[in-house]
Chain A
Amino acid sequence: MKKVITAIATVTAAAMAVTPVMAATELTVFNSKSEIQTQFEEEASVYSEDKGVDMTVTMSNDPVITHMGTKYSSNDPYVLSMVDAKDIYTLTPEHGIDLSDLDATADTDYAIEIDGKVAALPFCVEARGVMYNKSAIEEITGEEFDPADYATLDDFKALLDKLVEGGMEAPVAIMSEDWSLAAHYLAQWIEEQEDPEAYIQKLLAGEGDIINNEKFNSLMDTFDVLMEYNYAKDAAATADRNTSEDMLAWGDVAFMFGGNWDWSLIVQSESDSEMGMMPVPQNTDDGTNEKLVGGGSKYFFIDNSVSEEQQQAAKDFLNWMALEDDGQDFVTNSCALVSPYKSNTLDVSDPLSVSVKAYADAGALIPNYNFMPDDHYTTCGATMQKYLDGKIDREGLAEELTEYWKGATIIEH
Chain B
Amino acid sequence: MKRNTTSYKVTQYLMFAGPATLLFCAVVIIPLIYGFYLTFTSWDGISSSKPFVGFANYASAFGDGDFWVAMGRTLIYSAIAVILVNVMAFLLAYMVTRGIKGQNFFRAGFFIPNLIGGIVLGYIWQFVFNKAFTAIGTSLNLGFMKKSWLSTPQGAMACMIIVAVWQYAGYMMLIYVAGFMSVSKSLIEAAQIDGCTQSQATWKVIVPLMRASFVQCLFLTITRCFMVYDVNLSLTNGEPYNSSVMAAMHVYRTAFTNRVFGTGQAEALILFVVCAIVGITQVYIGRKGEVSA
Contact = CB atoms under 8 A, between A and B. Distances in A.
B242 A378 contact: yes
B241 A234 contact: no
Nearest to B149: A238
B240 A385 contact: yes
B48 interface: yes
Contacts of A375: 253, 257-258
B46 to A, nearest CB: 5
Contacts of B147: 234-235
Contacts of B256: 62-63, 65-66
Interface in B249-274: 253, 256-259
Interface in A65-100: 65-66, 68-69, 72, 90-91, 94-95
A69 B242 contact: no
A342 interface: no
B260 to A, nearest CB: 8
Given A90-B44, A374-B259, A385 B148 contact: no
A69 B46 contact: yes
B44 A238 contact: no
Contacts of B130: 238, 240
Given A237-B240, A240-B130, A378-B253, A65 B151 contact: no
A240 to B, nearest CB: 6
Interface residues of B, number: 22
A241 B45 CA distance: 31
A401 to B, nearest CB: 13
Interface string B118-130: 0000000000001
Given A237-B151, A374-B257, A68 B46 contact: yes
A217 to B, nearest CB: 22
A375 B256 CA distance: 10
B209 interface: no
Interface string A48-72: 0000000000000011011011001
A374 B46 contact: no
A382 interface: yes
Given A238-B148, A389-B151, A69 B45 contact: yes
B97 to A, nearest CB: 41
User: Among the interface residues A234, A236, A375, which one has the most CB atoms of the partner chain B within 10 A?
Assistant: A375
Nearest to B254: A375
A393 B147 CA distance: 22
B252 to A, nearest CB: 9
Nearest to B66: A379
Interface in B14-68: 44-48
Contacts of A72: 46, 48
Contacts of B45: 65-66, 69
A339 B122 CA distance: 38
A383 interface: yes
A391 interface: yes
A378 B241 contact: no
Nearest to B127: A240
A33 interface: no
A63 B241 contact: no
Contacts of A234: 147
Contact of B257 (A90, A378, A383, A391): A378
28 contacts: A63-B256, A65-B45, A65-B46, A65-B256, A69-B46, A72-B46, A72-B48, A90-B44, A91-B46, A94-B46, A176-B239, A234-B147, A235-B147, A235-B148, A236-B151, A237-B151, A237-B240, A237-B241, A238-B150, A238-B239, A238-B240, A378-B253, A378-B257, A382-B243, A385-B240, A389-B151, A389-B240, A389-B241
